[in-house]
Amino acid sequence: MDASADRFAGPAAAARRALVRRLTASGELRDPGWRAAFEEVPRHVFVPYYFAGFPGSYERLWCEDPSPARRERWLRGVYADVSLVTRVRDGTLLSSSSQPSVMARMLEELRVRDGCRVLEIGAGTGYNAALLCHRLGDSLVTTVDLDPDIVESARAHLAAVGYRPALIIADGARGCPERAPFDRIISTCSLASVPWAWPEQCRPGGRILAPLATGLIALDVFDDAEHGRMAQGRFLRTPAHFMPLRGGPAPRSGVLPRRAVKNDLFRFLLNLTEGSLDPQEALSLWERERRPERDRYGVTVCGGRQWSWLDDPEGPYAWPVGPPQPPSAVASSRGN
């Protein structure tokens, strides 16, 4: 976008620099390439309006409000370190622009290198895709979303600032076989389990980063002599709350006992082991293991099944994640 045509360019640039200073000081932004992306990609172009005040009632703040005070409030909110609800239908939240500090953490943990081909699951406003395009180039970025309106809105936002990645209307759980293989896959929507297509569409040495069970799982992809393509890794310490992947099963959510309802780490364990441990069993394990942080847990995807675990993928504490995949379906997804 021509800065001279953007009446918010000056105030927005100052707000962006302030946001980057905060993210750098907190340690969320370390890579100079990502710092440059956050400094230069104008988030306000991707969020011309948002809904403030959830849960309960809300109000719409937008860039064309006739009130200068409300326009200033809109712009201040755009460059605050908060997530912004951008689409609502019949009282249901459909899409959002994620919290910048969480976005920065995820992009840093994706560990991209120059030349990496990235698949993004969930187009959102297009802002995350723009950051990826700034860092890697348009031709290396593919974004998939099931909702045509969201895809077209993201496309318009991206074009307005000069980015043109591949934007595809499709079920993100199926990945994007026509543009595979990828070096990295990043999801901006929460999962009930890791879609089987994703490791198969990653090159060995690739990496998958996705929200799962109110955490962020970072999976390394590799080939195993016995099991073929595998993905395995640990959760980051940070919590993560995203909207669910449309078209897939609902993300896990446990029923909490009263004494632990406010503890986020115990809620994480319940969500991760739903269907395997009842709340009392989970509570006993959690207390016995000294209330483990998220990064002591991991996930393995291998041979048509996947499981979560504590400390060791072959250790005593392991729980199935999602239903087993039929062998025929695993075989049909290979060769990408």
What is the three-class DSSP state of 322?
A: coil
Q: Specify the pLDDT at position 247.
A: 57
* pLDDT mean over 48-60: 82
**What's the pLDDT band for 1 if we cut at 50, 70, 90?**
low
282 in a domain, yes or no?
A: no
293 in a domain, yes or no?
A: no
Number of domains in the chain: 1
d(CA 81, CA 65): 22
User: What b-and-e string marks burial along 268-300, b requiring 16 or more CB atoms within 10 Å of the CB?
Assistant: bbbbbbbeebebeebbebbeeeeebebebbbbb
Containing domain of residue 157, as a range? Answer: 3-170
Is pLDDT at 8 greater than 50 in this prediction?
Answer: yes
Q: Does residue 257 contact residue 279 with C-beta atoms inside 8 Å?
A: yes
Q: Does residue 55 contact residue 80 with C-beta atoms inside 8 Å?
A: no
Q: Specify the pLDDT at position 212.
A: 94
Q: Specify the pLDDT at position 55.
A: 62
Q: Specify the pLDDT at position 246.
A: 62
**What's the pLDDT band for 328 if we cut at 50, 70, 90?**
very low
126 in a domain, yes or no?
A: yes
More confident residue, 309 or 86: 309
Element (H, E) at 299: strand 297-302
pLDDT above 90 coverage of the chain, percent: 74
* pLDDT mean over 3-25: 88
pLDDT digit string (tens) for 273-302? 988 999 999 999 999 999 999 999 999 999
Is pLDDT at 4 greater than 60 in this prediction?
Answer: no
Q: Specify the pLDDT at position 329.
A: 41
324 in a domain, yes or no?
A: no
Please report where in the chains the tokens 């994480």 appear, as a residue. Answer: 268
CA torsion angle 218 224 226 229 (round to 10) = 60
308 in a domain, yes or no?
A: no
**What's the pLDDT band for 78 if we cut at 50, 70, 90?**
very high
289 in a domain, yes or no?
A: no
156 in a domain, yes or no?
A: yes
25 in a domain, yes or no?
A: yes
Active-site annotation, residues: 98
More confident residue, 264 or 56: 264
pTM summary value: 0.90
Is pLDDT at 336 greater than 70 in this prediction?
Answer: no
| CATH code of 135's domain | 3.40.50.150
pLDDT digit string (tens) for 209-260? 999 998 999 999 999 988 899 999 999 999 988 877 765 555 554 444 444 4
* pLDDT mean over 89-97: 77
Angle at 195 between CA 312 and CA 233, to 5 degrees: 25
pLDDT digit string (tens) for 108-164? 999 999 999 999 999 999 999 999 999 999 999 999 999 999 999 999 999 999 999
Q: What average pLDDT is seen over the chain? A: 89
